[in-house]
Structure 1
Amino acid sequence: MKRLVILGGGESGIGTALLGKEKGYDVFVSDKGKIKEKYKEVLIHNEIEWEDEKHTEEKILNADIVMKSPGIPDKVSLIKQLHEKGILVVSEIEFASKFTNANIVGITGSNGKTTTATLTHHILKQELNVGLAGNIGDSFAKQVLEKGFENYVLEISSFQLDDIKDFKPKIAVITNITPDHLDRYDYKFENYIESKFRIAMNQTKDDYLIYDADDEVIVNHLKNNPVQSTLLPFSLVKTIENGAYLDKEDIKITIDNNQIIMPTSNLALEGKHNIKNAMAASTVAHLLKIRKQTIRESLENFQGVEHRLEQVLKINKVQYINDSKATNVNATYYALESMDAPTVWIVGGTDKGNNYAELFSFVNEKVKAIICLGADNEKLMNTFGGMVDVIVETQFMSEAVKIAYKIAEAGDNVLLSPACASFDLFENYEDRGRQFKNAVRNL
């Protein structure tokens, strides 16, 4: 009986444990932190051995295969020991993909991947049997075990891609690549780029890679490191023969001389970056033979993603917007770009080596006040102190929202778009977004 050790007792870990047990592995789950009660109950109910608040090495180093949570870096000594012993260390995506013959659409990128994955799933589910997993919702492994969908849309992070071996999506999407998580990649942007491109490393000419042809990082990397996949780029500024492009107000998508045209005038989501997300999702749908009418209707009635430029409430003619999912500078760039009124901007958190320079023109043009919400706000205060009349700092979401309420006048926006990770003051970006929304509702 092969021994499967799972490091990390979160959503992906528990899903993998259940799938592994079903497939005849001897399963052991180990988490250095506390495993949540709801997950403990699942493990106990399924008679799966587990431990938390420690890693017992002798129970781990005898594994045949290890599935590690994407949150654990390779630099950790336990992972180094596993590699030295030649024990296979994989991600949940890799493990679960062995047990399904489904069509897989894998979506990665620094920004836009959640919206693109959710939108793609929203279109496909109108006509296909399809699951949505990866970084979203129920784990991929659990869905492979319980649902057995014929198609999956997977939102995949670079950390998950670092631990794939044979994983090969039929259709891969790279939305964009901007510096993010560099703390995990020895502060080398090139390492992070290579990590994202692993999504296509096992693809053949019968598989497809959809990518942003306006993103110089992607285009240059492809030039110097060609892939086997059939390429389907999308662009807002170039004319694309095979792929998608914007022609005045219309998205035109061509695959094998078969063209469909989508008007952008009624897209549910606003902003240039959402035209790109719509192009990527529509290209996937066109490849999978979804009807044009279905694609168009789906783009027009899509509700968007929680914590991503989510309009919360209007109070005294001030619009409060929750963009807690903006955990890097580029995401906040899109948020500020889409602001069409003077904005009180709430920013801050765990800085991953951020360079804020690309935000300066928007801050000068649109931001009237900045509220720094982080455990350490020194860098933000130094960077933006001279650009706005009002800059304050706080460690509490409720206080940040009260300050914003005092500063904002009729017609303004209050935007939470942190440009940073959330772990200094919050459990995760969802917790941060929910606290913001609760604070707004309590005004």
Structure 2
Amino acid sequence: MSTVSQRSLTEFDHIVVMGLGVTGLSVVRFIARHHPQATIRVMDSRLQPPGCDQLPAQVTLHTGSWQEQWLADADLVVTNPGIALTTPALGPVHQAGIPIVGDIELFAWYCDKPVVAITGSNGKSTVTALVGEMAKAAGIRVGVGGNIGVAALDLLDQGHDLYVLELSSFQLETTASLALNGAAFLNFSEDHMDRYDSLADYRAAKLRIFAHAHTRIANADDKATHSEQPLVLFGFQHGDYRLISHQGQEWLSVEGVPVLPVTELALVGRHNVANCLAAMALADSVGIGRDGQVKAMQTYTGLPHRCQTVATINGVTWVNDSKATNVASTLAALDGLTLQGKLHLLLGGDGKGADFQALQPVLDKLSAQLYCFGQDGEKLAALSRSSQRFDTLEQAINVIAQHVAPGDMVLLSPACSSLDQFANFMARGDAFADAVKQLTVSDVR
């Protein structure tokens, strides 16, 4: 699919890059590669921004504030997504009519291969990664990045035949000409109210993903993701991509045609069923074969620490959802969870004063066995009479291993911050995975 705009960096001689870090560095490298004659100046409001030691010698750097004279002298300003367009220093730039773009807009100018993109309040990283896995399974050379992993500009000129991008609302604000084969707006909930004047402004930024999209994919169950243009919908009961009953089971389907039983998905959690439906719609928009889609959904276990299956031992599935650092995240992991056996749920850490009672109805319905640890272990243990209390995560895992049976699931979805015992949620998730991997078949009864 061709780009809407065929603009080139060679139209500009004095380029200012606002904000360094991973994205800023990718912008500088890209400009230097495609317009070596340009004067590149970089500014960052931080005194010691990450990446300043990696700038090419010919690039001038200003730190600790915004250099307003540089902005006045520029004929193109490239901003980091973290910098709001309402930043006072950009006021004169707007008034002078100097173009202000982001890295995704530069990507749009130079990309000549198909692109699909994903935005939403939750789940976009998982869908982005899953579509990438679908493409790989189909034998397509794919570049995956944007707001996840590799900066978009670093994906160009690498021999890819397809790009899959996660895009934040911040990135979409400065993107005007990105032509997409498929664009998905997964869901919408309140966030970033320190950046936007209203929820409507936040939603409007997200909806920019549909501006030049051939196939617009929205959530049938979330009207806030809908636009006035024709849409392809995914949802549990309604939409082009939905769940149906087939052969006595729940299946993913496309326009009523069964594709795959939900029980064969490697991803865990009801929210990931919706993510798979959206991923199929995106894959179809660029012709990724159904076989590749199915293979990926059967094998892709998810991003680290997000409902990620780390092992299956003696028929027992061990799942790492350490990123669930609050009650809402744990509820999302538990929503619609269906099991052949019993759920063994690991809860604990620093609850930051949260009210854990919202978990009670869901836990009662699931008849989960709770294993509680850490600073707020006692409060969490009060959710069930059968709860067991431990000082550490590892102690709990060793006990769980003695009480599981085939068909059971062990889920680390703590509903708490990790900072009472771990450096971050990643370290907690790694500790869980390491402890599970040390279990032998004989350890797990």
TM-score grouping bracket, smaller chain normalisation? 0.7 to 0.9
Partner Cα distance (1:11, 1:88) in 2: 22
Deviations 1:240-275 (A, max 9, x none): 4xx211112222214xx9x67333332111222222
2:386 — aligned with what?
none
Deviations 1:275-328 (A, max 9, x none): 21111112222332233222222211213111212356899xx99854354578
Task: Using the TM superposition, name which of 54-63 and 169-178 deviates more.
Answer: 54-63
Partner Cα distance (2:310, 2:264) in 1: 22
Does the CA contact (< 8 Å) of 1:322 and 1:433 recur in 2?
Answer: no
2:382 — aligned with what?
389
Deviations 1:80-106 (A, max 9, x none): 443344332222111221111221101
1:395 — aligned with what?
none
Does the CA contact (< 8 Å) of 1:322 and 1:417 recur in 2?
Answer: no
> SS of the residue aligned with 2:206?
helix
Amino acid at match of 1:93: I
2:205 — aligned with what?
195
Amino acid at match of 1:143: L
CA 1:213–1:90: 2 relative to 1, 3 Å = same
> Does residue 1:167 correspond to 2:178, yes or no?
yes
Q: CA deviation at 1:362?
A: 3.3
In the alignment of these two chains, the number of paired residues is 397
> Does residue 1:28 correspond to 2:20, yes or no?
no
Amino acid at match of 2:49: I
Amino acid at match of 2:25: I
CA 1:414–1:251: 2 relative to 1, 3 Å = closer
Q: CA deviation at 1:361?
A: 3.5
Task: Note the residue ranges of structure 2 that are not aligned, 5 or more in a row.
Answer: 1-11, 384-389, 405-409, 439-445
Partner Cα distance (1:247, 1:66) in 2: 50
> SS of the residue aligned with 1:308?
coil
Q: CA deviation at 1:360?
A: 6.1
1:138 — aligned with what?
150
Does the CA contact (< 8 Å) of 1:237 and 1:246 recur in 2?
Answer: yes
Partner Cα distance (2:324, 2:176) in 1: 30
Partner Cα distance (1:372, 1:439) in 2: 14
Partner Cα distance (1:293, 1:260) in 2: 13
Partner Cα distance (1:419, 1:58) in 2: 47
Q: CA deviation at 1:334?
A: 1.6
Partner Cα distance (1:347, 1:179) in 2: 25
> Does residue 1:210 correspond to 2:211, yes or no?
no
Partner Cα distance (1:93, 1:296) in 2: 30
Name the TM-score, length of structure 2 as normaliser: 0.75
> SS of the residue aligned with 2:203?
helix
Partner Cα distance (2:359, 2:216) in 1: 30
> SS of the residue aligned with 1:114?
helix
Amino acid at match of 1:307: H
Does the CA contact (< 8 Å) of 1:368 and 1:389 recur in 2?
Answer: no
1:266 — aligned with what?
264
Amino acid at match of 1:435: A
Q: CA deviation at 1:437?
A: 3.6
Q: CA deviation at 1:406?
A: 6.2
> Does residue 1:293 correspond to 2:291, yes or no?
yes
CA 1:48–1:286: 2 relative to 1, 3 Å = same
Does the CA contact (< 8 Å) of 2:329 and 2:415 recur in 1?
Answer: no
Partner Cα distance (2:355, 2:74) in 1: 41
1:253 — aligned with what?
254
Does the CA contact (< 8 Å) of 2:17 and 2:79 recur in 1?
Answer: yes
> Does residue 1:112 correspond to 2:123, yes or no?
yes
1:235 — aligned with what?
235
Task: Using the TM superposition, name which of 96-105 and 280-289 deviates more.
Answer: 280-289
CA 1:272–1:226: 2 relative to 1, 3 Å = same
Name the TM-score, length of structure 1 as normaliser: 0.75
> SS of the residue aligned with 2:263?
coil
1:304 — aligned with what?
302
Partner Cα distance (1:356, 1:226) in 2: 40
Partner Cα distance (1:68, 1:61) in 2: 15
Partner Cα distance (1:419, 1:26) in 2: 48
1:378 — aligned with what?
none
2:343 — aligned with what?
341
Partner Cα distance (1:201, 1:419) in 2: 39
Partner Cα distance (2:99, 2:355) in 1: 36
Deviations 1:3-52 (A, max 9, x none): 2211221221111111122232322222223333xx3454236x333344
Larger radius of gyration: 2
Deviations 1:184-203 (A, max 9, x none): 223x3222222211111234
CA 1:149–1:371: 2 relative to 1, 3 Å = same
> SS of the residue aligned with 2:194?
helix
Q: CA deviation at 1:358?
A: 6.6
2:280 — aligned with what?
282
Partner Cα distance (2:349, 2:295) in 1: 35
CA 1:233–1:319: 2 relative to 1, 3 Å = closer
Q: CA deviation at 1:404?
A: 4.6
